[in-house]
Amino acid sequence: MQAAPDAAPIGDRLGIVLVAYDNAGSIERLLQALGEEKRPGDRIALVDNHPAHACAALAEKSAAVDLVIRSQNVGFGAGCNQGAAAIEDEVELLLFLNPDSSPEPGSIARLREGGKAEWAAWSGLLLLPDGRINAAGNTIHLSGLSWCAGYGEAPSDYRAESAPVALSGAAMVVRVQAWKRLGGFAPDYFLYYEDTDFSFRLRSIGLELGIVPGARITHDYEFDKSRQKWFYLERNRYVFILRTWPLSLLIVLTPLEVAVELGLWLVSVFQGRLLIRIRAVASFVRMLPRITRQRRAVSRQRVTSAYECLRLLEPRIDTPLLSGLVRGRAILALFSGYYRAAAFVLRVAARA
């Protein structure tokens, strides 16, 4: 059973939260663009996680910025929480924006005004520097993997076939009451998956997400960045699954997840990332007691059934960001067949 969405608040005061880490080369340009679109009542908060605090020094000289927080490196999600906590009582909407992004003129206004009343959160189209789509929301796969929806497509070809399952934290608008209801981002991710977790939790309490295609923001995005990124992606997939998926969904998908794990271990060997994966698993095991406690809190908020949660997951792997080996017909048939079987089991269990 879907819960009724929160009513749209009166007012559209926008609180913009920027979490910077060594982004001095791009932050001045972004602050200038935001200053040009800032309206009375808006607030801009910058959280600088880098020890040198070069971005903080630049932001303190900007007339557009209302608050600068010089923080230790607490990670992206926790940094967003810090910035939001400082301004959330003064605004109706929060916009989380990456410091390496460049909004097209008018895009902040389109984001502010484009959210439908039934949406708890929404985004624009994130673009790559060459003009192709970086992300039109995010996809969540049966395996727990998540990737940029629409990656590499032309913006002119974008058509919203359905509501996005998840949004990218690189440019995400959230209604303040929905943000407070969920308690913001889960800080334990540190980097990556906090936006997937937050989006999935919004959907699991019956709230809707959306895309405003006219709001276009260029993002300095590179998929294969570093060994550190792979560590967080590997570990945080486990954290996401354990924190947010209903128990019956976990049980039904366990055989598939075991098969996926075997494949991912082989991939890590062939790609020279075995030690990273071992470190990721060890880190996840150390986090288990804390994540298990968090899981109970997430479960208490959930109103959607395990079957409805399954429907948020995608059986296809259709992104060019992953190897073509996992996008073949045999893999598709495996995941699609398992998806249908899992859906049948969960529907029957719900009627019992």
Question: Rounded mean pLDDT of 262-283?
Answer: 93
Confidence of residue 10 (pLDDT cuts 50, 70, 90): low
Q: pLDDT tens-digit profile of 237-262? A: 999 999 999 999 999 999 999 999 99
Length of the chain in terms of residues written: 352
Instruction: Provide the percentage of residues in the chain whose pLDDT is more than 70.
Output: 94
Angle formed by the axes of helices 274-301 and 227-244, to 10°? 30
Question: What pTM was estimated for this model as a whole?
Answer: 0.93
Query: Tell me, what's the pLDDT at 300?
Result: 96
- Give me the torsion for CA of 251, 276, 135, 1, rounded to 10°: 20
Tell me how far apart the terminal alpha carbons of the chain are, to the nearest angstrom: 16
Residue ranges of domains in the chain, CATH in brackets: 14-219 (3.90.550.60), 244-351 (no CATH)
Q: Residue 203 in contact with residue 313, Cβ under 8 Å?
A: no
pLDDT at 5: 43
